Each structure stands twice: as structure tokens, then as C-alpha cells.
């Protein structure tokens, strides 16, 4: 399995109105990621049923360079600048695949 570069991000939102604004921001950002980032292999946004003010992102990149490319895109910079108005906290965990089955397998 190729190692890839992955992260999980927990966004903690202020309130229900902030959650709506955040979800709208996400809905405008993810199509740009799909369109312009071929080495972003997975960019999945999850809601948490028993935590309505939490969103969890799972991001998988071909390598660190693909993540760096993602971070430099105008849509990502816009997302990062705008998200602060909706979030009360952000937790990021960077990960490295050790084994398993997935899109990184070659």
C-alpha cells in the first residue's frame, strides 16, 4: 500500500445557525476540490448524529505535495478564511497509512 497523506479534522460549530452557514460554505467548496485537485483522493464531510454541531472531514491525498497543492488553492484559502466565523474549535489529526485496502493501493 502506498502511504499517501491523510488527515481527520473535527470542526466544532457555534450553534445551529453557524452549522447552516458552515454547511453552505462546504457545499460551495467541495465541487471545486473535485474539479481542480486530481491528487485529492478522498475529501469526505461527515455529520455526527448525536453531535449536531460537529462536522468531521476525512481527507486523503496522494502524497504531501498533493496536500500542499490543496492548501494553496483559492477555494481552500477562501474556505479557511470563512470558516472561522462558524467554528468554536478545530481539531486536526494527521495520519499515515500502514496497511489496509483503499484507493492508495497500487
pLDDT at 99: 78
**Residue 5, exposed/middle/buried by CB under 10 A (0-12, 13-18, 19+)?**
buried
| The CA-based dihedral angle spanning residues 85, 91, 97, 99, taken in that order and rounded to the nearest 10 degrees | -120
Model confidence pLDDT, tens digit, residues 13-29: 999 999 999 999 999 99
Model confidence pLDDT, tens digit, residues 31-47: 999 999 999 999 999 99
Instruction: State mean pLDDT over 43-70.
Output: 97
The whole-model pTM stands at: 0.90
Amino acid at each position: 500500500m502506498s502511504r499517501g497523506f491523510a488527515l481527520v479534522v473535527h470542526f466544532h460549530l457555534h450553534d445551529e445557525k453557524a452549522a447552516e452557514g458552515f454547511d453552505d460554505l462546504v457545499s460551495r467548496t467541495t465541487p471545486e476540490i473535485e474539479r481542480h485537485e486530481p491528487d485529492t483522493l478522498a475529501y469526505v464531510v461527515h455529520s455526527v448524529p448525536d453531535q449536531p454541531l460537529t462536522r468531521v472531514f476525512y481527507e486523503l491525498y496522494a502524497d504531501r505535495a498533493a496536500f500542499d497543492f490543496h492548501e494553496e488553492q483559492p477555494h481552500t484559502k477562501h474556505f479557511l478564511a470563512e470558516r472561522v466565523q462558524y467554528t468554536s474549535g478545530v481539531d486536526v489529526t494527521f495520519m499515515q497509512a500502514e496497511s489496509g485496502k483503499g484507493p492508495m493501493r497500487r
